[in-house]
């Protein structure tokens, strides 16, 4: 897999995942919505750590700076 996520994208995804995790822990979000958001947060965390987003690859988006 070729990296296609830049640093800012990775940081934003990690922050969003952390916020959703905190909201779930504090029982602010509940039910089906909570489980859907926790699932998406997990995907955000995995894609942030590997710096590859399959959706970006599908649409041809690349925010990773290329080294010369």
- How is 8-64 classified by DSSP, letter by letter? HHHHHHHHHHHHHHHHHHTTSS-HHHHHHHHHHHHHHHHHHHHT--HHHHHHT---S
| Structural domain includes residue 48 | yes
Look at residue 37 and tell me if it is in a domain. Answer: yes
Q: For the chain, 68 residues long, give each residue's pLDDT as a single digit of tens.
A: 788 898 899 999 999 999 999 999 999 999 999 999 999 999 999 999 999 999 988 998 888 887 64
Domain-located, residue 12: yes
Tokens of 52: 């590859």
Residue 65 within any structural domain of the chain: no
Residue 49 lies in a domain: yes
Instruction: Please give the pLDDT value at position 38.
Output: 96
The answer, as to whether pTM is greater than 0.75, is yes
């Amino acid at each position: 897999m070729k990296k296609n996520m830049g640093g800012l994208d990775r940081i934003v995804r990690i922050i969003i995942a952390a916020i959703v995790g905190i909201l779930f822990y504090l029982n602010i979000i509940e039910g089906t919505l909570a489980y859907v958001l926790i699932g998406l947060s997990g995907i955000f965390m995995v894609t942030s750590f590997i710096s590859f987003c399959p959706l970006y690859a599908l649409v041809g988006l690349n925010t990773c700076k290329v080294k010369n």
